Each structure stands twice: as C-alpha cells, then as structure tokens.
Structure 1
C-alpha cells in the first residue's frame, strides 16, 4: 500500500512537471517595455521576435492577431528563425508570412543557427522574396511618424572594425536602433552611439531561478550577466534581450516561458 502511494505521488509529480513544461515551451507570453527618448516626438512601436527555432508548438495565428492589435511601426527579427538542423523551412516561413500581413516593414539579422544550417541560402532567398529587409553589417532607413529612424543590423560574428565601419556615418540626432543576435558582441563594442540594441541568443538562460536569473547561456556559460530583459550599457545605450519564442537543444523551460516583445519608445 505504501509503495502504491509513493508510485502514485511520483506519477502525479511527473505529470505536473510535463504539463508545466509544455505550457512554458508552447504558450507564448508578451513582454512589454517602455523607453523614453528625446529623439522622438510621437510614440514609436516596435515588435521584436527572436529565436523561433522553427517552433511548431506555438499558435502563430494568435501571435499575428496580438501584433496587429499592438499596431507596430516595424518588426525586428533578431535571428535563429530556424534551428541549425532544420530541414523543412515551412514553419519558419509561415511565421514570416503571418508577420507580413501586418503591412509594416520587417528587418532581419542572422543568428548562429542560420549560419550553421545547410539551407541558409534558401532561407535568405525566401525572406528576400517576401520583402524582408536583411541587414548584414549595414543599415536601413524607415520613416516613422514623420521621423527617419536608422535601423542597423550586425552579423553574428561581427568584429570591432566592422562595427566601427557600420556606425561611421551614424547621425546622432536620429533614433538609432541596432539589431544584434548576440548581446555579448554588441556590449563589447557599445560606445553610446546606438540608442537601443535588440538581441536574443540567450533564451533567457532557458532555465531561470528566483533571485539568480538565467542558469546557462551559449557563449557566457553558467549564470550569464547578459541573460534577459532591459539594461543600460556604458554610454547610455539601452540593451534589450528577448528570451525567445522557441527552444533549442532540448524543449525545456523553467520559470521562463517563450515570449516576444512589444516595445514603446515615447518622448
């Protein structure tokens, strides 16, 4: 009888953990952040989606409707749309097709998983054919509320020289946004030129602990400094790290559900 109770308790705990993790890896949340800038006269709204990793578990239609309701001026895809071993691009391209229905410009920078994927060229061609603006150590201009905003995109393995060249013609009176899949590389070269850096890559540590934060992150090891959220870098640059809307290696998340971010930049 005692053994039966123990086995039943173990089964209940195991089921609870399974259902909890399933919710964490498939039911996305919406992160909302607000930033103030003297460079804008009217509110600017940005959606950031990162580290999708061809996640077939999330409800793309629900995501699309939430984004449409937010009514952003631009969408930033900050890398790892696919996983390094993704063979079928259909799920990731379905996400992009849904985002295209918003009618706002979409900007994309590659992550390490695109670079490692053998279908990288096909993916980039598909994105380009859909009008996605691919940034690779260069910039684009977007008119938002009568103001020209500069959007820069750094490749994953960007070097300091490339970073300096990319920002050499930066206009400080403009709002300057940098997309960089890796927050670490962006933080290395941050000198206050960019107003806002949007990154991913860390998955928020994938597993998080109270008071501690992320447990492990690629490139930073255990208990990473740059794991998740909004922080200020030297020189006044704001860095936002989104923990991602997908999973890699193992579909496990604890106290860190998949998410995307709605950003408001107000005067």
Structure 2
C-alpha cells in the first residue's frame, strides 16, 4: 500500500505545482481573479505542507531528553538511549541508519535500547542495518522485534542480522545488569502480535527489584506480569506520525491503549510507560509536527 501513498503525494505535488506555475504566468488573463487567487493560496498551503512533511521534517532528526525515577531512594543513575521504528526500506535506507547511529553515539549513552520494527516489509531490508554495528554502550545494546520484522517471514533473518552486528535480541527473556551497586532487571519481549509473552519474560522478577520491560507495542502494559516492571519502554505508534498542535495524532494509533498514549512519558495503573515516536515511517512517507526522534532517558534507580 505504500506505493498508493506515493502516487497520491507525487500526483498532488506535480499537478498543483503545474497549476500554480500556470496561475503565476497567466495571472493577467484570469477574469475571476479573486476565486483563482483564493484557490491558489489554499492549494499552495497544501503543497507546502505536503512537501515539508514528506521531504523535510522526516529528515529532521531530533534528540529529546526525559528524567525518570524508578526507586523511592535512588542511589545510581544511567542514561538510556532509545531509538525505534527504523523501517528501512522504500522510504529510508542505510544512509539514514548511519545518520541515526552517528547522532546517537555522539551522546555517549550508558545503555542503548531498540524496541523493534527494523524493516519496512521485506526480509532483505535488514541488509541495510549494517551501520548499527557501530552502536556500543558500557551496559550493552539490546533490541526486541516489532510487528514489521515478521512480515515476509523475516523475523529470524532480522534477529540473526542484529546478533551478527553485536546487538543482543531479547526474545521473551531478561537479563540482570549491575549499575554500580544496584541491579537492574532488563526484560524484553518479541512482538505482541506474534510471539510476545510478557509472562515468560517477567517470570522470576519480584516487585522489590528495579526492572524495565522493553516491548515494541505499548499494549504490553495490559498483559500478564507486565505490571512487575517499573518502566515499560515501547515504540510502534510513531506518535501518530501526522499530528497537529493541541490536537495530537490525526489518525488512531494501532494500539488498544489508543491515542491517549501516543508518545512520551505516561503513568498507566501506577506504572510508568515511555513511548518513542521513532525514526521511520510507514503508510505515507510524511511526518508533521512530529519529527523523528532519539530519546535520552536519565534513569535514577
């Protein structure tokens, strides 16, 4: 379906562009100048919006920061870089992945988490992930799969590619990481629409432990044992991709939680949930009032 959006976008830009050129060059010949002028202004605003959203904002990578406290009496802290939804394929390729990696590594995070959707829709899209080999952090680089990573039966190929690049892929499992004198439980699940299992990932984790659950889909907070995590980190929503100020996403995000939880830091049933807007696009190639983002989370535990 992506090519349908491409046809619509390029048809609008070309046809409206031609009309505006015609108006500019033949203005004196129009009899109903007020009507043609108003129509030209409206179409020009639409042209500028579509061009900006499709070709400028989508390449305007930003870094946002958030502070999150996971313990009542924190004694340690670390910086976690979160980047999701690369969606490498027809819209963005290896060069974009390199830009994201270079920007992220310039901030020297302590831990890097990637909550899924590495490819657009083909297994061979994963061949463009090579720049991710340059990702490194003192406490490691961890990832989980997203729903797009299962398209074209690509999940195992994506996982093998990531592991070959030195990235640890968590498949309904957990690891324990010592942060100074504090232990952090990091759990991760495969995509919820396919093989995700929060119960398996969080088995053995107690409420007394400080824990983070990495999930592509933020709906993980609705599942068994997920409430054991102090923080759930997710992507998937793209922040709605197309947004307007004070309104938010113009489309319903593909989660049970809905648009009330589209991007940012939330509290859900006394549990913290962080959702990144990601760095790639699906559907139309555009973003609006919602640039691709890398998130730096300062975690106190």
Matching residue of 1:259:
293
Question: By how many angstroms is 1:237 displaced?
Answer: 1.6
Matching residue of 1:83:
120
2:70 to 37, 40, 53: 37
- 1: CA distance, partners of 2:266 / 2:64: 15
Secondary structure of the residue aligned to 1:261 is: strand
Secondary structure of the residue aligned to 1:97 is: helix
- 2: CA distance, partners of 1:166 / 1:157: 12
**Aligned residue pairs, count:** 263
Matching residue of 2:59:
26
Higher RCO, 1 or 2 (CA under 8 Å, sep at least 6)?
A: 1
Secondary structure of the residue aligned to 2:124 is: coil
- Contact 2:110–2:138 (Cα < 8 Å) also in 1: no
Residue correspondence of structure 1 range 97-246 to structure 2 within 5 A:
97-100=133-136, 102=137, 104-157=139-192, 162-189=197-224, 192-214=227-249, 215-220=251-256, 224-234=259-269, 236-246=270-280
Residue 124 to residue 162, structure 1, CA distance change in 2 (3 Å): closer
**What RMSD in Å do the two structures reach over aligned CA positions?**
2.9
Between Structure 1 and Structure 2, whose CA radius of gyration is higher?
A: 2
- 1: CA distance, partners of 2:165 / 2:37: 57
Q: Which runs of 4+ in 1 moved over 6 A?
A: none
Q: Give the structure with the higher percent helix.
A: 2
- 1: CA distance, partners of 2:128 / 2:200: 35
- Contact 1:47–1:260 (Cα < 8 Å) also in 2: yes
CA offset digits 1:91-144 (Å, max 9, x no partner): 3232x12324x5651111110001123333222112112221111111012222
Q: TM-score by structure 1 length?
A: 0.85
- 1: CA distance, partners of 2:298 / 2:134: 22
Secondary structure of the residue aligned to 2:188 is: strand
Q: Which runs of 5+ in 2 are unaligned?
A: 1-26, 28-32
Residue 194 to residue 163, structure 1, CA distance change in 2 (3 Å): same
- Contact 2:240–2:252 (Cα < 8 Å) also in 1: yes
Secondary structure of the residue aligned to 2:259 is: coil
Residue 211 to residue 8, structure 1, CA distance change in 2 (3 Å): closer
